[in-house]
Amino acid sequence: MTKKIVAGLIGMLLVGIGATAQAASCPTAPPAQIAFEAVPSPLPQDTSASAKDLAIKLGSDADHRAPGYYEANSAATAKRDTAIAKLPDGTVCAVAAKLTVKISLDRKLWLASELTDDKCVLQAFANAYGRRAKADDDTVVQFGQTVIPTYQAQLAAIGWQTAPSQEAAMKAVADKIAPIMTDIEAKFVAERAAAQGKIDLSQLPPEECDGETAKIGHQVGLGNNATPASSAAKPHA
Protein backbone atom coordinates (compact mmCIF):
# COMPACT_ATOMS: atom_id res chain seq x y z
CA MET A 1 0.00 0.00 0.00
CA THR A 2 1.48 3.16 -1.11
CA LYS A 3 1.30 6.25 1.05
CA LYS A 4 2.69 9.63 0.12
CA ILE A 5 2.75 13.23 1.46
CA VAL A 6 2.72 16.18 -0.94
CA ALA A 7 3.03 19.74 0.37
CA GLY A 8 1.87 22.63 -1.77
CA LEU A 9 3.06 26.14 -1.01
CA ILE A 10 0.97 29.29 -1.46
CA GLY A 11 2.51 32.48 -0.16
CA MET A 12 0.51 35.30 1.42
CA LEU A 13 2.48 38.47 2.00
CA LEU A 14 1.87 40.33 5.22
CA VAL A 15 2.76 44.03 4.93
CA GLY A 16 2.75 47.08 7.14
CA ILE A 17 5.91 46.64 9.18
CA GLY A 18 7.45 50.08 9.47
CA ALA A 19 10.93 50.92 10.66
CA THR A 20 10.92 51.97 14.31
CA ALA A 21 13.46 52.64 17.00
CA GLN A 22 12.60 49.30 18.58
CA ALA A 23 14.19 46.01 17.55
CA ALA A 24 12.40 44.46 14.57
CA SER A 25 10.27 41.37 15.31
CA CYS A 26 7.72 39.27 13.49
CA PRO A 27 4.16 40.67 13.67
CA THR A 28 1.20 38.93 15.26
CA ALA A 29 0.67 35.74 13.32
CA PRO A 30 -2.68 35.12 11.60
CA PRO A 31 -4.81 32.44 13.26
CA ALA A 32 -3.60 29.08 12.01
CA GLN A 33 -6.32 26.99 10.39
CA ILE A 34 -6.46 23.32 9.52
CA ALA A 35 -9.00 21.79 7.16
CA PHE A 36 -9.78 18.30 5.86
CA GLU A 37 -10.85 17.27 2.39
CA ALA A 38 -11.92 13.80 1.29
CA VAL A 39 -10.90 13.47 -2.36
CA PRO A 40 -13.54 11.59 -4.43
CA SER A 41 -12.25 8.08 -5.15
CA PRO A 42 -14.03 6.23 -7.98
CA LEU A 43 -14.23 2.44 -7.82
CA PRO A 44 -13.86 0.99 -11.33
CA GLN A 45 -14.48 -2.73 -11.84
CA ASP A 46 -12.16 -4.99 -13.81
CA THR A 47 -13.18 -8.49 -14.90
CA SER A 48 -10.27 -9.12 -17.25
CA ALA A 49 -8.40 -11.47 -14.90
CA SER A 50 -9.29 -15.07 -14.14
CA ALA A 51 -9.66 -16.47 -10.63
CA LYS A 52 -6.23 -18.01 -11.02
CA ASP A 53 -4.72 -14.65 -12.04
CA LEU A 54 -6.31 -12.96 -9.03
CA ALA A 55 -4.87 -15.60 -6.73
CA ILE A 56 -1.44 -14.81 -8.10
CA LYS A 57 -2.07 -11.10 -7.47
CA LEU A 58 -2.78 -12.02 -3.87
CA GLY A 59 0.56 -13.79 -3.61
CA SER A 60 -0.59 -17.38 -4.11
CA ASP A 61 0.51 -19.84 -6.77
CA ALA A 62 -1.29 -21.03 -9.90
CA ASP A 63 -2.96 -23.88 -7.98
CA HIS A 64 -5.14 -21.40 -6.09
CA ARG A 65 -8.23 -19.41 -7.01
CA ALA A 66 -9.72 -16.12 -5.79
CA PRO A 67 -13.10 -14.70 -6.86
CA GLY A 68 -12.24 -11.07 -6.19
CA TYR A 69 -9.68 -8.58 -5.00
CA TYR A 70 -10.11 -5.04 -3.69
CA GLU A 71 -6.96 -3.13 -4.60
CA ALA A 72 -6.45 0.29 -3.01
CA ASN A 73 -3.55 2.65 -2.39
CA SER A 74 -4.08 5.52 0.05
CA ALA A 75 -2.49 8.95 -0.17
CA ALA A 76 -2.30 11.68 2.45
CA THR A 77 -1.51 15.02 0.85
CA ALA A 78 -1.43 18.59 2.10
CA LYS A 79 -1.66 22.10 0.69
CA ARG A 80 -0.04 24.75 2.86
CA ASP A 81 -0.88 28.45 2.82
CA THR A 82 2.15 30.28 4.20
CA ALA A 83 2.12 33.87 5.47
CA ILE A 84 5.35 35.82 4.87
CA ALA A 85 6.58 38.98 6.59
CA LYS A 86 9.81 40.78 5.67
CA LEU A 87 11.50 42.79 8.41
CA PRO A 88 13.54 45.98 7.87
CA ASP A 89 16.79 44.17 8.68
CA GLY A 90 16.15 41.65 5.88
CA THR A 91 14.98 38.82 8.11
CA VAL A 92 12.09 36.83 6.66
CA CYS A 93 9.30 35.54 8.91
CA ALA A 94 7.12 32.63 7.74
CA VAL A 95 4.16 30.96 9.43
CA ALA A 96 1.65 28.29 8.43
CA ALA A 97 -1.62 30.18 7.98
CA LYS A 98 -3.66 27.20 6.76
CA LEU A 99 -3.05 23.50 6.22
CA THR A 100 -5.52 21.57 4.08
CA VAL A 101 -5.16 17.82 4.60
CA LYS A 102 -6.46 15.59 1.83
CA ILE A 103 -7.02 11.83 1.88
CA SER A 104 -7.54 9.95 -1.37
CA LEU A 105 -7.73 6.33 -2.50
CA ASP A 106 -6.53 5.03 -5.84
CA ARG A 107 -8.50 1.83 -6.11
CA LYS A 108 -10.01 -0.88 -8.28
CA LEU A 109 -12.39 -3.77 -7.70
CA TRP A 110 -11.14 -6.92 -9.43
CA LEU A 111 -13.70 -9.65 -10.06
CA ALA A 112 -12.84 -13.01 -11.62
CA SER A 113 -13.73 -13.25 -15.30
CA GLU A 114 -15.58 -16.51 -14.60
CA LEU A 115 -18.19 -14.54 -12.64
CA THR A 116 -19.34 -12.79 -15.81
CA ASP A 117 -21.09 -16.01 -16.85
CA ASP A 118 -24.01 -14.90 -14.67
CA LYS A 119 -24.96 -11.25 -14.13
CA CYS A 120 -26.62 -12.00 -10.80
CA VAL A 121 -23.54 -13.80 -9.48
CA LEU A 122 -21.26 -11.05 -10.73
CA GLN A 123 -23.31 -8.44 -8.88
CA ALA A 124 -23.41 -10.60 -5.77
CA PHE A 125 -19.61 -10.77 -5.57
CA ALA A 126 -19.33 -7.08 -6.49
CA ASN A 127 -21.56 -6.28 -3.52
CA ALA A 128 -19.50 -8.54 -1.24
CA TYR A 129 -16.10 -7.16 -2.17
CA GLY A 130 -17.56 -3.67 -2.41
CA ARG A 131 -17.89 -3.80 1.37
CA ARG A 132 -14.17 -3.14 1.53
CA ALA A 133 -14.60 0.04 -0.48
CA LYS A 134 -17.52 1.08 1.73
CA ALA A 135 -15.36 0.50 4.81
CA ASP A 136 -12.67 2.74 3.34
CA ASP A 137 -15.21 5.47 2.54
CA ASP A 138 -16.56 5.36 6.09
CA THR A 139 -13.04 5.44 7.55
CA VAL A 140 -12.13 8.52 5.53
CA VAL A 141 -15.23 10.37 6.74
CA GLN A 142 -14.75 9.36 10.37
CA PHE A 143 -11.05 10.16 10.32
CA GLY A 144 -11.71 13.55 8.76
CA GLN A 145 -13.88 14.49 11.72
CA THR A 146 -10.90 14.05 14.05
CA VAL A 147 -8.30 16.03 12.10
CA ILE A 148 -9.26 19.55 13.19
CA PRO A 149 -9.70 18.91 16.93
CA THR A 150 -6.57 16.73 17.04
CA TYR A 151 -4.11 18.86 15.08
CA GLN A 152 -5.37 22.47 15.20
CA ALA A 153 -3.35 23.32 18.32
CA GLN A 154 -0.23 21.60 16.99
CA LEU A 155 -0.36 23.66 13.81
CA ALA A 156 -0.88 26.90 15.73
CA ALA A 157 2.04 26.07 18.04
CA ILE A 158 4.49 26.16 15.12
CA GLY A 159 4.36 29.95 15.06
CA TRP A 160 6.74 32.18 13.10
CA GLN A 161 9.91 30.70 11.65
CA THR A 162 12.68 33.17 10.76
CA ALA A 163 15.51 32.90 8.24
CA PRO A 164 17.70 35.11 6.03
CA SER A 165 15.62 34.23 2.93
CA GLN A 166 12.03 33.46 2.09
CA GLU A 167 12.96 30.04 0.77
CA ALA A 168 14.73 29.11 3.98
CA ALA A 169 11.92 30.44 6.16
CA MET A 170 9.30 28.46 4.24
CA LYS A 171 11.43 25.33 4.47
CA ALA A 172 11.58 25.78 8.22
CA VAL A 173 7.77 25.85 8.32
CA ALA A 174 7.61 22.75 6.12
CA ASP A 175 10.01 20.94 8.45
CA LYS A 176 7.74 21.73 11.42
CA ILE A 177 4.64 20.49 9.59
CA ALA A 178 6.25 17.24 8.39
CA PRO A 179 5.85 15.40 11.74
CA ILE A 180 2.17 16.40 11.86
CA MET A 181 1.58 14.91 8.41
CA THR A 182 3.52 11.79 9.33
CA ASP A 183 1.31 11.29 12.37
CA ILE A 184 -1.86 11.93 10.34
CA GLU A 185 -0.78 9.36 7.78
CA ALA A 186 0.09 6.74 10.40
CA LYS A 187 -3.21 7.15 12.24
CA PHE A 188 -5.25 6.92 9.05
CA VAL A 189 -3.43 3.76 7.96
CA ALA A 190 -4.06 2.19 11.38
CA GLU A 191 -7.76 3.09 11.39
CA ARG A 192 -8.16 1.84 7.83
CA ALA A 193 -6.48 -1.48 8.66
CA ALA A 194 -8.74 -1.93 11.69
CA ALA A 195 -11.87 -1.35 9.60
CA GLN A 196 -10.73 -3.71 6.85
CA GLY A 197 -9.93 -6.38 9.42
CA LYS A 198 -13.58 -6.57 10.44
CA ILE A 199 -14.72 -7.68 6.98
CA ASP A 200 -15.17 -11.41 6.44
CA LEU A 201 -15.20 -12.61 2.82
CA SER A 202 -14.75 -16.28 3.58
CA GLN A 203 -18.42 -17.11 2.93
CA LEU A 204 -20.58 -17.03 -0.17
CA PRO A 205 -22.50 -13.81 -0.84
CA PRO A 206 -26.08 -13.95 0.51
CA GLU A 207 -27.63 -13.62 -2.98
CA GLU A 208 -28.29 -17.20 -4.10
CA CYS A 209 -29.02 -16.38 -7.77
CA ASP A 210 -31.02 -19.62 -8.26
CA GLY A 211 -28.13 -21.70 -6.99
CA GLU A 212 -25.57 -20.18 -9.36
CA THR A 213 -23.73 -18.29 -6.61
CA ALA A 214 -22.74 -21.50 -4.87
CA LYS A 215 -21.96 -23.27 -8.13
CA ILE A 216 -19.78 -20.57 -9.67
CA GLY A 217 -18.47 -19.35 -6.32
CA HIS A 218 -16.88 -22.67 -5.47
CA GLN A 219 -15.32 -22.87 -8.92
CA VAL A 220 -13.44 -19.61 -8.38
CA GLY A 221 -12.60 -19.93 -4.68
CA LEU A 222 -14.00 -18.09 -1.68
CA GLY A 223 -12.89 -15.22 0.53
CA ASN A 224 -10.20 -12.61 0.15
CA ASN A 225 -7.52 -15.26 0.74
CA ALA A 226 -6.95 -17.37 -2.34
CA THR A 227 -8.42 -20.86 -2.04
CA PRO A 228 -6.59 -23.96 -3.30
CA ALA A 229 -8.01 -25.18 -6.60
CA SER A 230 -8.23 -28.71 -5.20
CA SER A 231 -10.79 -27.56 -2.62
CA ALA A 232 -12.62 -25.00 -4.74
CA ALA A 233 -15.06 -27.52 -6.20
CA LYS A 234 -16.08 -29.08 -2.87
CA PRO A 235 -19.78 -28.79 -2.00
CA HIS A 236 -20.67 -25.86 0.23
CA ALA A 237 -21.20 -27.04 3.76
Q: What is the pLDDT of residues 10-37, one digit of tens each?
A: 333 333 333 332 346 999 988 999 999 9
How far apart (Å, rounded) are the C-alpha atoms in residues 138 and 224?
20
How far apart (Å, rounded) are the C-alpha atoms in residues 213 and 121?
5
Rounded to two decimals, the pTM is 0.78
| pLDDT digit string, tens, across residues 144-200 | 999 999 999 999 999 999 999 999 999 999 999 999 999 999 999 999 999 999 999
Picking from 152, 177, 174, the residue whose alpha carbon sits closest to that of residue 163 is 174
Quote the crossing angle between the two packed helices 212-220 and 119-158, to the nearest 10°.
Answer: 60
Residue 185 lies in a domain: yes
Residue-level pLDDT at 23? 41
Residue 5 or residue 38, greater confidence: 38
Q: What is the mean pLDDT of residues 133-150?
A: 96
Residue 21 lies in a domain: no
Residue 237 lies in a domain: no
N-term to C-term CA, the chain? 35
How far apart (Å, rounded) are the C-alpha atoms in residues 86 and 93?
6
| CB neighbour list of residue 212: distance below 8 Å, 6 or more residues apart | 118, 120, 121
Residue 230 lies in a domain: no
pLDDT at 4 over 80: no
Total count of domains within the chain: 1
SS3 35: strand
Q: Residue 151 belongs to what domain range? A: 7-16+27-225
Residue-level pLDDT at 24? 61
